[in-house]
């Protein structure tokens, strides 16, 4: 069909095709953004758990290295360890450091805190777990020199 110069514009078919192409492109962009957001949240939650476990283990090991052997008491039944004036223990899903009767939260999302002593060696295992099921575990051992 021939058009006159004065009949400028788009036909209904052209408009429908253009809208369909735009919808496909926008849908792909939305899916890409949604996928990125989900990945960010997953990595952020895992990093948070890992950071908490590493911080707690580092702090406990630092205290063990700074103390002499007579200042270290490992209570394996209650899964707590006392190093000098500081006692490290888990309550609920948090790990605490208690000094002079005052407890401070060291880390959260802590699933388990296990303390074992075999001879002069103290083994500590800290497991973290967030509400989405991401878990991270770290173990450390320290040999008391007397």
Q: Model-level pTM?
A: 0.73
43 Rama sector, left if φ>0, alpha if ψ -120 to 50, beta otherwise = alpha
Per-residue pLDDT tens for 74-91?
888 888 999 999 999 999
Q: Which helix (H) or strand (E) holds 79?
A: none
Token pair belonging to 67:
């103390």
- What proportion of the chain, given as a percentage, has pLDDT over 90? 61
Strands, sheet with 80-83, edge to edge from the N-terminal-most edge strand: 72-75, 80-83, 86-91, 94-99, 102-108
pLDDT of residue 135: 87
Does residue 2 carry a pLDDT above 80? no
């Amino acid at each position: 069909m021939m058009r006159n110069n004065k009949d400028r514009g788009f036909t209904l078919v052209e408009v429908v095709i253009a809208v369909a192409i735009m919808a496909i492109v926008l849908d792909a962009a939305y899916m890409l953004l949604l996928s990125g957001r989900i990945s960010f949240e997953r990595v952020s939650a895992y990093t948070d758990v890992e950071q908490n476990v590493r911080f707690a283990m580092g702090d406990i090991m630092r205290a063990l290295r700074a103390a002499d052997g007579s200042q270290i008491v490992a209570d394996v039944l209650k899964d707590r360890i006392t190093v000098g004036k500081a006692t490290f223990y888990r309550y609920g899903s948090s790990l605490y450091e208690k000094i002079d009767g005052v407890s401070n939260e060291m880390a959260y999302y802590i699933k388990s805190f296990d303390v074992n002593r075999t001879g002069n060696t103290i083994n500590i295992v800290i497991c973290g777990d967030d509400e989405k099921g991401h878990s991270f575990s770290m173990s450390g051992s320290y040999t008391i020199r007397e």
